[in-house]
Chain A
Amino acid sequence: MRTVRRAGDGGLLVETADLDDAHRLHRALRDAAFPGVTDIVPGERTVLLVAEPDACDLDRLAARVATLEATAAEAEDAPPVEIPVRYDGEDLGEVAELTGLSVREVVERHAATEYSVAYLGFSPGFGYLTGLDEALRVSRRASPRTSVPTGSVAIAGPYTAVYPSPSPGGWRLLGHTDLTMWDVQRDPPSLLRPGLRVRFVPEWTR
């Protein structure tokens, strides 16, 4: 039995054991396609269901979700998305200082790991990627930048991310990619989706 919390009269917040469980449940809920549900939003240890209050019996939905078997959901089997990165970010030196590593080590460690999209938020197509090397955990900048350019590859806390569009931001910039992360003309518009695996490929020579 899962813990299902009410988020008002049109939402259910389902608790999960961990991030993997959240992704499995997210896929199982998409497969189940419960009528009246408009959005399914995974978080770090939750999945939120948003329903049309007039078109959905929330009590019945909660009961079905509580016992939903998520292990049957098809695993994310897409190969990792490869994001080419030019490691020339403004904060590279600062991150090296903060972590006690050399710039080259920062880059190597950032590019050595396979990441997973934990969830999206902050702005359309902005994926919070988990799997960051412990040695690279740094806090956000004390004062956020008013504008971070599209394609900036950055780290903060346990996450790394690529800014899909220009926005204010306090993450530390390691580099940038020319890959289009977000395009409303594309279907789906976001390159990233919850659960997808990601690798960063350094472009050393240019």
Chain B
Amino acid sequence: MIEVVRPGPLATVQDLGRPGYAHLGVPRSGAADAPSLRLANRLVGNPEGAAGVEFTLGGASLLFHSPAWISVTGAPLDLRLDDRPQGMNAPVRVPEGGTLHLGVPPRGLRSYLAVRGGLTCEKTLGSRSTDLLSHLGPPALAPGTRLPFGRADGPMSVDLAPVAPLPGAPVLRVLPGPRDDWFARDALTVLTSNPYTVTPTGNRVGVRLEGPALVRAREGELASEGMVTGALQVPPNGNPILFLTDHPTTGGYPVIAVVRHQDLPLAAQLRPGDNLRFHLS
């Protein structure tokens, strides 16, 4: 069992979410940077979809009441077991009574902890993911939260995973549409030829961006339609919102373009003040 001493600004339990319920208004949820959670799980011999912890801007301490193999991936941070520095993207043996400290990542936003055996909190609709917007899954971690974990039989065969550093100037590839025809002719050009800045109001629902306004060519309201993760939804003020994993299942603002799924992990690592560009591909 793991006891949360300090959770940092926001820490939640996440697996790969609860697909299949969107028609009932349930967001998929799950790790915002899913490949980082998958990697963390592989490093400790778990199935890729086992539940771990998603930390936002690190700053956490965890006390282990039983020994465990763990790994930390995602936004790079200073990782210490008691006083000893440990490597990211590698399995770490934590003895009973050990305290794991996660520093604040100088870059990126979300780091992931996997525990061999996986967290065994109760499932809701087939998933252990916390969805704060929809009030599903376990509550956000707080000091004193106890996290049970299971046993694993899978082999641990990797000592260290090579991981590319987060780019200093992120570029997200987008596909146009489905509602690019709601915008002025040059709106896609505006979107893909100017930097956009991440505002401080983002969360797991989406990243609010500021930059040159994307001007509509059509008046009126779009009939509400289903939304995908990675959608760039544009409210009347012209500043796009990039939908992440807890996004609402339907929406009434037109989507000018959608980020390619391979670049969603990068989008999940954007932090307030970051500048990014979009590339049509």
Contacts and interface: CB of A to CB of B under 8 A. Distances in A.
A98 B169 CA distance: 53
B226 A48 contact: yes
Chain B interface size, under 10 / 10 to 19 / 20 to 34 / 35 or more: 35 or more
B166 interface: no
A20 interface: no
B23 A39 contact: yes
B163 interface: no
Contact of A123 (B20, B134, B176, B178): B134
A48 B224 contact: no
Interface in B152-207: 175-179
A50 B260 contact: no
A43 B224 contact: yes
Contact of A125 (B19, B25, B227): B25
A87 interface: no
A10 B25 contact: no
Contacts of B250: 41, 43, 119-122
A121 B21 CA distance: 11
A73 to B, nearest CB: 15
Interface string B196-235: 0000000000000000000000000001111110110000
Contacts of B179: 5
Interface string A27-59: 000000000001111111111101001000000
Interface of A: 5-11, 13, 26, 38-48, 50, 53, 119-128, 165, 184, 188-190, 192-194
Interface of B: 19-26, 28, 124-125, 133-136, 175-179, 223-228, 230-231, 248-251, 255, 258-261
